[in-house]
A and B are shown apart, each in its own frame.
Chain A
C-alpha cells in the first residue's frame, strides 16, 4: 500500500505528516529541531529515508541535519558554507556595493540519482553542492562568477537562491532562481551559467526587460517535459517552452497574478496550480478568501478551487516553497500557510481538508510518495 510523507518546515521546527494512500487520517510527528527556523527539508528520490533539513537561527547560524530513517532520527551534518575565492560584492537595497555574506540555506535539492549528492541554495545567493551526504560543501561558483553578480540586488526577503531544479533528462542541466536576480541555467554541470529571463517584464526595475534583476518567486517543472517551465514571478505567472530561453505570460484570468507558490500536477504536465495573493503590499488572499487556482491548459485559463478552504476572514500567505504534489494515481496537492495550516487535496484540488491547523508559520512543504 502506498504511503505519503509530508515534510513541513516552519519558523519553529519541522513536522512530518504521514498517511496511507487514502490521505484521510494523518500521523503528525514533531516539532523536530524545536524553536529553530526550518526553511526547507527534502528527501532523496533514490533513497526516500535519506532526508536533509536546513535548520537556522540568527543567533547560532546554519545547521544541516540528515536523517537515514525517514525523519525518525537526525544527525547534524556539515554546516560550513564558504564562498569560493574572494566573494566580492553585490548591490545592497540602496544600490551601494555590499559584501557577499552567507546567512542561511533556503532550499535543499537532493540529487535525482545519488543520495549522497545534494545541492543547497543560499542567501546571499549562491549554489553549493555536497557529494558526501552533506558533510562538506563546495560552492558552484560559476554561477556567481558569470558576470552579473555584482549587479544582483536582494528582494524584500533577502538575496536568496530559493529554487533548484535538476533536469531528469540531462544531468548536466540545472535551473536555479534568485530573488531578485532572476532565473539561470547551466548546461555543463555548473561550470558556466546563463541568465534565462527573456520575456520577463518587471515594472519595479530601471529596465523592465533587463537580462537580470527580476524578482522570480518560484519555478516548477514536470519531470516528463523538462523543457517546459512554469514561473510565479513577483507579479505575473509565466511559461517557457524552450527551457527558459524565452517566457510568455500566462496569467490570463487570474484575479491577481502576484503570488509565491506554483506547482505542476504529477500526471498532467499541463495542469498547474498557483495561490494568488492580493499584492506585494498586502501579502494575503483577495477578499479574505483562500483559493488555489488551477489551469488545465498550461496557463491563461484558470479556475478557482475553494471547496474546503476558508472563504472568509482568511489573511494568511503561502510562501514559495510551501506547495507540493504527491505521485499517487489521484494526484494529491498540499500547501502550508503562514497561519500554520497545512491543507491537502487528494483529488487534484477539487476538495481540500486541513491536515493540521495550528503549526508555526509554514515556510516549506515537500511530499514523498512511498511504496
Chain B
C-alpha cells in the first residue's frame, strides 16, 4: 500500500484527512502514483500536474525519504521504502510569501535537507 501525503488544500479539495493509501499496479513511480491518485480523486486532475503535458506544477515539489525527487524522471522507480509503504510520498506546496497571487510572489527555494515533517507543518500553515 502506497502512502501519499497531500498538501492541506488538496486534502480539503479531495475531502480526505491524513494520508491517502493507494494500491498502485506495476512499478511504483511518480507517474503511476499520480495516475492512481487522480483516478481515485478526479478533482485533483490538473492541480498537481498539467492536464495536457502532465508536467509538475511549478509551485509543487515531490519528496520522499528525505530527498527531493521533483526533478527525477516521472517513470523512474521510487525508493523501495515508498513502494513498500514504509515511507510516504510527499506532495508539497512551495513556501511563497508576498502578494496573494503566486505569480507575483517572491518564491523561496525549498531546502534540500530538512526535517520534512516540520516542513510540511510549516508549508500548510503559511
A, B in one complex: yes
Q: Is the CB of B102 within 8 A of A63?
A: no
User: Which residues in window 101-115 of A have CB below 8 A to B?
Assistant: 103
Q: Is the CB of A58 within 8 A of B51?
A: no
Q: Is B115's CB within 8 Å of the partner chain A? A: no
Q: Which of B17-25, B52-60, B68-76, B82-90 contacts A (4 or more CB under 8 A)?
A: B52-60
Contact of A58 (CB < 8 Å), options: B8, B10, B48, B103 = B103
Q: Is the CB of B57 within 8 A of A60?
A: yes
Q: Is B112's CB within 8 Å of the partner chain A? A: no
For A12, the closest partner residue in chain B by CB is: B100
Contact of A57 (CB < 8 Å), options: B9, B43, B51, B52 = B9
Residues of chain B within 8 A (CB-CB) of A37 are 100-101
Q: Which of A75-83, A216-224, A300-308 contacts B (4 or more CB under 8 A)?
A: A75-83
B97 to chain A, nearest CB (A): 12
Assuming the A-B contacts A58-B105, A62-B46, are A82 and B96 also in contact, with contact meaning beta carbons closer than 8 angstroms in the complex? no
Contact of B47 (CB < 8 Å), options: A12, A35, A61, A103 = A61
User: Which residues in window 44-91 of A have CB below 8 A to B?
Assistant: 57-63, 76, 79-80, 82
A34 to B125, alpha carbons, bound, how many Å? Answer: 13
Assuming the A-B contacts A35-B9, A63-B13, A76-B13, are A57 and B102 also in contact, with contact meaning beta carbons closer than 8 angstroms in the complex? yes
Residue-wise, chain B 101-116 has the 8 Å CB interface mask toward A (1 for contact) of 1110100000000000
Assuming the A-B contacts A57-B9, A59-B57, are A82 and B47 also in contact, with contact meaning beta carbons closer than 8 angstroms in the complex? no
Q: Is A36's CB within 8 Å of the partner chain B? A: yes
Contact of A79 (CB < 8 Å), options: B46, B103, B105 = B46
Q: Is A320's CB within 8 Å of the partner chain B? A: no
Q: Is the CB of B100 within 8 A of A63?
A: no
For B51, the closest partner residue in chain A by CB is: A80
- SS class of chain B's interface: helix, strand, loop or mixed? loop
Q: Is the CB of A79 within 8 A of B45?
A: yes
Q: Is the CB of A60 within 8 A of B47?
A: yes
User: Which residues in window 32-54 of B have CB below 8 A to A?
Assistant: 43, 45-48, 51-52
A57 to B13, alpha carbons, bound, how many Å? Answer: 12
A351 to chain B, nearest CB (A): 32
A106 to chain B, nearest CB (A): 12
Residues of chain B within 8 A (CB-CB) of A162 are none
Residues of chain A within 8 A (CB-CB) of B60 are 59-60
How extensive is the interface on chain B, given as a class?
A: 20 to 34
How extensive is the interface on chain A, given as a class?
A: 20 to 34
Assuming the A-B contacts A37-B100, A37-B101, A82-B51, are A59 and B45 also in contact, with contact meaning beta carbons closer than 8 angstroms in the complex? no
Q: Is A11's CB within 8 Å of the partner chain B? A: yes
For B93, the closest partner residue in chain A by CB is: A59
Assuming the A-B contacts A76-B13, A82-B52, are A58 and B45 also in contact, with contact meaning beta carbons closer than 8 angstroms in the complex? no
For A79, the closest partner residue in chain B by CB is: B46
Q: Is the CB of A58 within 8 A of B96?
A: yes
A83 to B121, alpha carbons, bound, how many Å? Answer: 37
Q: Is B94's CB within 8 Å of the partner chain A? A: yes
The CB with the most chain A CB atoms within 10 A, among B8, B43, B57, B105, is that of B43
Residue-wise, chain A 197-209 has the 8 Å CB interface mask toward B (1 for contact) of 0000000000000
User: Which residues in window 29-43 of A have CB below 8 A to B?
Assistant: 34-37
For A81, the closest partner residue in chain B by CB is: B51
Q: Is the CB of A59 within 8 A of B59?
A: yes
A11 to B104, alpha carbons, bound, how many Å? Answer: 14
A99 to chain B, nearest CB (A): 12
B57 to chain A, nearest CB (A): 6
Contact of B9 (CB < 8 Å), options: A11, A60, A76, A82 = A60
Q: Which 6 A-B pairs have the closest CB atoms?
A: A58-B102, A76-B43, A60-B47, A59-B59, A59-B93, A80-B51
* Given A58-B101, A58-B105, A63-B47, 6 further pairs, Cβ under 8 A: A11-B100, A12-B100, A57-B102, A58-B102, A60-B93, A79-B45
15 A–B contact pairs at CB < 8 A? A34-B12, A37-B101, A57-B102, A58-B103, A59-B7, A59-B9, A59-B94, A60-B57, A60-B60, A63-B13, A79-B47, A79-B51, A80-B45, A80-B51, A82-B51
